[in-house]
Amino acid sequence: MAYIGLLDVFIAFLIFIIFHFLIHKKTHKPFPRNWPILGMLPGVLVMLHKINGYLVEVLEVSNLTFVFKGPWFSGMNMLITADPANVQHVFSSNFSNYDKGSEFKEMFDFLGEGIFTADSKLWEEMRRSSMVMLSHQGFQSFSLKTIASKIKNGLVPVLDHFAKENMVFDLQDVFQRLAFDVTLTLVTGYDSNSLSIEMPKNEYAKAMDDAEEVVVVRHVKPMFVWKLQNWLGLGEEKKMTQANAAFDRSCAKYISAKREEIHQHSTIGEKAHDVDLLKFYMNLDTSKYELLNPKDDSFLKDIIKSFMLAGRDAIATTLTWFFWLLSKNPEALTKIRQEINTYLTRSSDKSLDQDKLSKMVYLHGALCEALRLYAPIPFERKSPIKQDVLPSGHKVDAKWKILFSVYALGRMRAVWGEDASEFKPERWISERNGGLKHEPSFKFFVFNSGPRNCLGKKLSFLQMKIVATEIIRNYDINVLEGHKIEPASSIVLHMKHGLKVKVAKRCLVS
């Protein structure tokens, strides 16, 4: 009975805190209140459903850096920043003193020992091998062939079907399926054909979505709480257990099929021309790389999961926000169509002309604006190895975590000017010569910065440009009136309710 009484008091206290916070927020700056014992966690939990927008408000009025105090003894104290000087210091100038840390690896445990969770020597070796793979001529040729085939045999038939039937559909789902199929083919050589008129369910794709949502919740729970839930299979953690099982089943299937494929080619003396990532790692000369063992299934599974996360989400998320932004800015859409008419002919193959795509400055600027305003990965995280003082003047030690809000950084008026919240592709175009304007990576932080900058940046832009030009010149996309647009609470900035649209074929003059 005494236990029940204490529980009732605790629940009443939590309700009081939340009620008090809601009133407190209306009359004061948007900082969460620092409560005894519970720290600032109650205020953050109240705003978790719109955490990225909330961090914009907090960082805008706190000189770009904010100290978050977690509950006592929870180990959740962290520095939240959108200061480019801090980004440059941590990711470049003093790179050797910062890593992702063991806690980060535990939170993202579904990625195993992949490149996203790796630190130090392991990360160096994985990055070195990845650079070789991405620059491989066979892989580059395979990339272009794959995206062209998927547009022709997947995207175009699906959009034509929706146009003919005048159907309302989720454009985000289409882009996720497109990016999933392309990425899975590049990573494993296997095409799941999830982008088809039937829109079949895919176990692996669902597991990715579930795992990403769970990781966000882990960031606002003490580690012992979510680990206990995981062990017991309760709450959100049950979804992670199910996701990991799905990852294991799918990856085992891809690895087995790839080994059989390699064996068949070697038996009949045939040389395969297409080089997918899985094949590359299976044939890797390990004498050149320490700590890599491509014969180990666990390593290969982690490789698949890491590159699937990087390839699918960045492209699909950016294209979704990009087309929504164009629907709100028809003058930008008109300018992109003018560029397409100037540099590309009616032939669909011409959209793969990299030289002509590179001349489409306004299209590139519009994609950069979508990335700036809606970064696919809305935050990065680092931990100091030893005590340090950041350019912002904040002292950090190994007990602290530093959370970099990529989403907020793209919207800070102190960084981008008073029009920071506006969609303006022109900000990426030089007034002097009309060419692309370069912004340093510690300011435009979407593709990371310093030694850990994104290796797939060039390929991602190329794929997005190819898809964008194909759709913009052949279709009109109309967003459903009244459809609610807001980001999901996930480690990837999906649209929470998707992007409901109708599509119509354009009548083009030859």
Residue 39 falls inside a structural domain: no
- Strand bridging mode 98-99 / 65-68: unpaired
Single-letter amino acid, residue 259: R
For 151, the domain range is 62-505
CATH number at residue 482: 1.10.630.10
Ramachandran angles phi, psi of 139, nearest 5°: -70, -40
| Identity at 179, one-letter amino acid code | A
Q: Is 386 exposed, middle or buried (0-12, 13-18, 19+ CB in 10 A)?
A: exposed
Enumerate residues 6+ apart whose C-beta is below 8 A from 306.
111, 114, 115, 116
Beta strands in 163-312 (DSSP E): 169-170
Name the maximum alpha-carbon separation found in the chain.
Answer: 82
Residue 197 placed within a domain: yes
Per-residue pLDDT of the chain (510 residues; tens, 9 = 90+): 444 444 454 444 555 555 554 544 444 567 788 888 888 888 878 888 888 999 999 999 999 999 998 888 777 888 999 999 999 999 999 999 999 888 888 899 999 888 888 887 888 888 888 888 888 888 888 998 999 999 999 999 999 999 999 999 999 999 999 999 999 999 999 999 999 999 999 999 999 999 988 998 888 788 889 999 999 999 889 999 999 999 999 999 999 999 998 888 765 544 445 788 999 888 887 777 776 666 678 889 999 999 998 888 889 999 999 999 999 999 999 999 999 999 886 654 555 678 889 899 999 999 999 999 999 999 999 999 999 999 999 999 988 899 999 999 999 999 999 999 999 999 999 988 889 999 999 999 999 999 889 888 998 999 999 999 999 999 999 999 999 999 987 889 999 999 999 999 998 654
Q: Is the pTM of this model over 0.75?
A: yes
Residue 47 belongs to a domain:
no
**432: number of Cβ within 10 Å:** 7
How many distinct structural domains can be found in the chain? 1
Residue 400: HSE in the Cβ half-sphere, 13 Å Cα cutoff: 22
In a domain, 13, yes or no: no
CA proximity to 64, closest of 442, 506, 459, 462: 442
485 phi and psi, to 5 degrees?
-115, 120
* Residue appearing with tokens 């929504």: 324
What's the rounded Cα separation, in Å, for the pair 168 and 418? 37
Q: Let me know if residue 7 belongs to a domain.
A: no
Structure tokens at 240: 């992670």
**57 falls within a domain:** no
Residue in this structure with the two tokens 């003193």, named with its chain if needed:
97
DSSP three-state, residue 487: strand
Beta-carbon contacts of 247 under 8 Å, excluding residues fewer than 6 positions away, are 110, 204, 207, 211, 301, 305
Residue 31 lies in a domain: no
Which amino acid does the sequence have at 123? W
Confirm whether residue 368 is marked as ligand binding.
no
Burial 359-369 (b: 16+ CB within 10 A, else e): ebbbbbbbbbb
Residues paired with 83 in a beta bridge: none
Residues 6+ apart with CB under 8 A from 388: 94, 97, 395, 396, 397
Phi-psi region of 233 (alpha: psi -120 to 50; beta: other; left: phi over 0): left
